[in-house]
Amino acid sequence: MKKIYLIFLLLFVSMVQVFAQTETVKSTIAIFPYKHVAEADAALTSMQSWDKANWKFFLSQLDDKDSAQLLKANYALNAYVHHIALDAEKKKQTAIYLSAALSYVKSFDGRYFLILQLGLLGDDVAVKSLAALLKDETFAGNAARALAVIHSENSIAALNKGLLKVKEPARKHIQAALDNVNSVLPEIKVAQPAKKIFQNEVQHLLVLQDEMDAAKNPLEKRRILAEAAHIPGFTSLMFVSQSLNDPDVCDEAALITARLALADKNTRGKAAREVLEKALPLIKGIDSAFLVKNLLVQLVAMPYDNGFVSLFNGKDLTGWKALVGNPITRAKMTDTELQNQQKIANEKTKGDWIAKDGLLVFTGHGDNLATAAQYGDFDMYVDWKITTQGDAGIYLRGTPQVQIWDTSRRDVGAQVGSGGLYNNQKNQSKPLVVADNKIGEWNTFHITMKGENVTVYLNGVLVTDNVILENYWDKTLPIFAKEQIELQAHGTHVAYRNIYLKELAGNAVTVLSDAEKKQGFSMLFDGSNMDQWVGNKAGYVLEEGAIVVHPEGNGAGNLYTKEEYADFEYRFEFQLTPGANNGLGIRAPLTGDAAYVGMELQILDNEAEKYKDLQPYQYHGSVYGVIPAKRGYLLPMGEWNKEEVVVKGSKIKVTLNGTIILDGNIKEASKNGTIDHNDHPGLKRKTGYIGFLGHGDVLRFKNIRVKKM
């Protein structure tokens, strides 16, 4: 019995010691990344007294899935290595701990960081561990550089020995490290070119795209990406993101893509979201924990609407169609007539426009190419290139045109340059300056259209300044409010690429339909103000015609209607973000947990992985804990869902995107107790407020109407 007691006592003491060591390490590195020198010095002094167990636990943090803890460990270790730089004994002991950690730290980031620090420590005790990694396909280059940094007789011998045993590409890394050790410089065959001076960042980016197309090795590609990293804006982000598909530089491209996005709080929309989601798993290195954490936060909050979309996928003509008539003649056709004419035009013009080598090319024969969608106000980027005697243009809302032509064609007045509104009769038609690049070189337009007014930048230079575009088809009419974009066909070859368009949010408010007016509906939110609402207006704010829930503004609070409602019909639209959770409170008081003291209808992305184990009464549209809703009728992420809730007595009906997902009676459903086995006193309430019940996630609401019954 005494033996058993002693065993348990020893186990208990051991557990207490482990816990104490764990807390010692965590509390020591808690101040990193540090802001106060005194605290950092105290932490680094404490680390010098750690024993082997402390160090083992600390280094295991390099595998921690908590990005914040991983970041603290990285900063603490880097600071410690520099702190002991002049203490040979401490350097050796630390190198022993770090070399041992290579056997149990498994993450890429952790091993990468250990190798880097072993090189900085410069102690021979690390040579054996680093030499073993020269055969590792992933870390051979890192290990070779670390051995070169140690720069001792043993480390150089290990590199020479490794050079004889390994194969490409590891051999190339080792040779480069040895060349560095031996100060072998590459042969200089030509003089260094003078530093290029660019007129503006737009021209710089055009040159970088040409250089990337011609780049022959990873070194050139990395240099190009490094230059692009200093050019802010959407077009730079999209250019860098193209290298996410290149295995030679995808890691570098991912880091730059993340940094460009984080530096621009206006980054938004489908095109940006797609490249950032692609970049996330490729982000590696010392700063990866910090970048990934912040990028995930930005992605969740990033609006889906009013952002740039790509109009050309680089592969085919998806999203484009042949031209049929003009806006006036098309408006006179029935839907059937227009569909028939479209089929004829599509068939007739096959081969006139083609997708080739990532470019949208007009072959020189045929008619305009039009977008399948129509647009009102917009921001647009498009690159174009013409041949000698070239003539083309961009039709805005189906109307000619922002001019493109060879400026040498003086016989037709092309010497004024491209970018003007060629067909204007009363308003300015010529560009302000000539900003065209040479024939055969790429040019880029940035076109903004608001109402009737058009602004055009050509190659970063303002050429058309807020000029009214006249209606070419009927001079007595203003420009069409919404129509297609067209690429003009004018008998000469032309190529386009990087076509991005962002619809601009208008100031128009939502109005009731005639039918809703007759039925007795009133507006609770029309996009212009939040006067009909009370409660958490710090977490629920008005942005671009929608009520947006912001976690940083206490998005876990509730927003309620000013009035109470008994029986009613409530209609609204909502846009989820991945994993978002909210609720629609009905017949609720202004205080207490509305899910119980009132009723809560779930508003939830229940298709998210983290909700895979939900109970049926937690699905979107359910009366929480009382009546389950049918699942599977939410629209794809980013689209606006439409929902209608009818509350009459004890009956509740919820219709989502045209499908009834819940039609039940709360009295019948709870007569033998609720299915979540909780007390729901709110089921007995006859009246109360309608509200949005926040759970700390980003969502958007708009077009909210109600009818008292």
What is d(CA 304, CA 320) in angstroms, rounded to the nearest whole number?
Answer: 22
Residues 413 and 485 in one domain: yes
The predicted pLDDT at position 201 comes to 95
| Residue for token pair 């009546």 | 627
What is d(CA 307, CA 504) in angstroms, rounded to the nearest whole number?
Answer: 8
Q: Residue 91 belongs to a domain with what CATH number? A: 1.25.40
**514: how many CB neighbours lie within 10 A of its CB?**
8
Question: Is the residue at 440 inside a domain?
Answer: yes
Q: Which two tokens stand for residue 321?
A: 């169609």
The predicted pLDDT at position 184 comes to 55
**94: how many CB neighbours lie within 10 A of its CB?**
24
Residues 535 and 400 in one domain: no
Residues 324 and 385 in one domain: yes
Residues 430 and 336 in one domain: yes
Question: Is the residue at 190 inside a domain?
Answer: no
The predicted pLDDT at position 17 comes to 46
E-only strand ranges, 510-650: 522-525, 533-535, 540-543, 546-549, 558-565, 568-575, 581-588, 599-604, 641-648
The predicted pLDDT at position 8 comes to 46
* Neighbour order of strands in the sheet with 688-693: 533-535, 558-565, 688-693, 581-588, 599-604
Please write the tens of the pLDDT for every residue from 32-45: 766 567 777 888 88
Residues 362 and 451 in one domain: yes
Domain boundary among 305, 338, 356: 305
Question: Is the residue at 560 inside a domain?
Answer: yes
The predicted pLDDT at position 344 comes to 94
The predicted pLDDT at position 507 comes to 64
Closest CA to 394 of 415, 378, 412: 378
Q: Residue 570 belongs to a domain with what CATH number? A: 2.60.120.560
Q: Which two tokens stand for residue 13?
A: 């003491």
| Residue for token pair 């960042």 | 201
Residue 201, class by beta-carbon neighbours within 10 Å (0-12 exposed, 13-18 middle, 19+ buried)? Answer: middle
Closest CA to 417 of 455, 477, 464: 464
What is d(CA 431, CA 463) in angstroms, rounded to the nearest whole number?
Answer: 5
The predicted pLDDT at position 16 comes to 41
Residues 475 and 456 in one domain: yes
Residues 342 and 284 in one domain: no
Range of the domain at 61: 2-181
Residues 485 and 337 in one domain: yes
365: CB partners within 8 A, 6+ apart: 352, 491
Residues of the chain with pLDDT under 70: 1-24, 31, 33-36, 65-68, 184-195, 286, 506-508, 553-555
Question: Is the residue at 186 inside a domain?
Answer: no
Question: Is the residue at 690 inside a domain?
Answer: yes
Domain boundary among 151, 181, 211: 181
What secondary structure does DSSP assign to 476-494, as a single string? TSPPPSSB--EEPP-SS-E
Q: Which two tokens stand for residue 21?
A: 């060591």
Residues 270 and 340 in one domain: no
Residues 458 and 352 in one domain: yes
The predicted pLDDT at position 174 comes to 84
Residues 670 and 635 in one domain: yes
Question: Is the residue at 315 inside a domain?
Answer: no
The predicted pLDDT at position 458 comes to 97
| Residue for token pair 């003089």 | 191
Domain boundary among 181, 213, 243: 181
Domain count, the chain: 4
Residues 473 and 543 in one domain: no
The predicted pLDDT at position 36 comes to 67
